[in-house]
Amino acid sequence: MQYLSNSRRIARALKPLGFFDANMRFVSSNASHVVDSLQSPNLRSPPASVSPAVMELHRKILDSINVKRSMPPNAWLWSLIDNCQHGGDIEFLFDALQNLRRFRLSNLRIHDNFNSNLCQQIAKTCARCEAMDYGKRTLWKHNVYGLTPSIASAHQLLSHALECWSTKQMRKIMKLMKASNLPLQPGTADLVFRTCYVSDNWVLLAKYSKRFCRAGVKLRKTTFGIWMEFAAKRGKVLERHRNLWRVDKLRSETYTQHTLSSAFSCAKGFLLEHKPEEAAAVIQSICQAYPDEKKSALEAEFQKLVNEWPVDVIKHQKEEDKKAVAASLKSGIPAMVDALVNSGLRVSIDLDVLNKNEALLS
């Protein structure tokens, strides 16, 4: 009797947890739901908005892995990436990646991640589908998807942050880059500076400019142009540290010639320092070096200097300094134009617009 009692206890302890039925479904005795063997356990309830093409490709990839026990053609994964249209599709894509990664490791003994081109394309697709939470996973140093973080992937996500004017997304991407030990590149600086500029966040640009300079990144001419234009827009030459001139000094250490943006930024700086002749000299030098077929860009910069810049720079001054700056610009800009005309340069600027500018009249 004692033997039979012990046998029953052992049998109860070893009671099977589940079984397979005729339809190839695995049923858990501790679960209240049924999971199809051809469906990934990570997708028990598919998102409402999933493209039919994505669902079909996802099914074929998992069928190849789980039933046929063979690696699916690479074309299926690339097609899955191309067919992604929104966040629900991206969820299916990453589930397929996770299953493929597991199959490559356990069955094929392939420990390498997917190639860099595919990783970059996945980051680009996440940005296109507005699925940035998944996109940031492409920069995770350790992940279950077989993705290798890269500068190219980071730039795809930073480009999307720029398009959305989102410094919040940009900061998160930069943190992930640092955590994954991705080196800062000139292209990274260009995207970061542009994002800070369009979102009008000077403090954030100043913070990241220090980081790029400490890392020894060689900034592009266009990046210096953005930095200097932003400094001139904020009127930073009037402050103790003279930020505009500090940036120009850094630029001159790398590049001997001005770009259109950096030259006009210096001219604006001289105008703020009540030096219209020096402002005219800088503009004259860039005009002489600029090809005739691009003269329209010069006219656009002149128009911005007269119509837009005075409003921007006065807006960012202290209340007690606004009247003095407005009076200085109202006299300085015409003096600069006169100096340009006297030097023989043809300048098409409507100074009547300047005289009617409300920022200079208030």
CB distance 279 to 271 below 8 Å: yes
- C-alpha atoms less than 13 angstroms from C-alpha of 183 in its C-beta half-sphere: 6
Mean pLDDT, residues 331-336 taken together? 92
pLDDT of residue 351: 75
Spatial CA neighbour of 266 closest among 254, 289, 249, 253: 249
pLDDT of residue 19: 34
Mean pLDDT, residues 70-82 taken together? 96
Mean pLDDT, residues 64-76 taken together? 94
Measured CA to CA, the distance from residue 1 to residue 12 in angstroms comes to 17
Tokens of 326: 């407005």
Which H or E run contains 253?
helix 243-254
Among 220-229, 291-300, 352-361, which stretch is predicted with the lowest mean pLDDT? 352-361
Measured CA to CA, the distance from residue 38 to residue 25 in angstroms comes to 9
Indicate the SS3 state at residue 35. strand
Residue 29 has pLDDT above 50, yes or no: no
Distance, first Cα to last Cα, the chain: 106
Residue 308 has pLDDT above 70, yes or no: yes
Amino acid letter, 261: S
pLDDT of residue 6: 52
Mean pLDDT, residues 238-248 taken together? 76
Residue 1 has pLDDT above 50, yes or no: no
pLDDT of residue 271: 95
Mean pLDDT, residues 155-165 taken together? 97
Tokens of 222: 């266009």
CB distance 265 to 225 below 8 Å: yes
Distances (CA, A) of 94 to 85, 140, 146, 193, 352: 14, 14, 10, 31, 60
Strands 25-28 and 18-20: antiparallel
Query: In terms of pLDDT, which residue wins out, 49 or 358?
Result: 49
Mean pLDDT, residues 264-275 taken together? 95
pLDDT of residue 61: 96
Residue 98: alpha-carbon gap to chain centroid: 25
Mean pLDDT, residues 5-9 taken together? 52
Instruction: Identify the band that residue 346 occupies on the pLDDT scale cut at 50, 70 and 90.
Output: confident
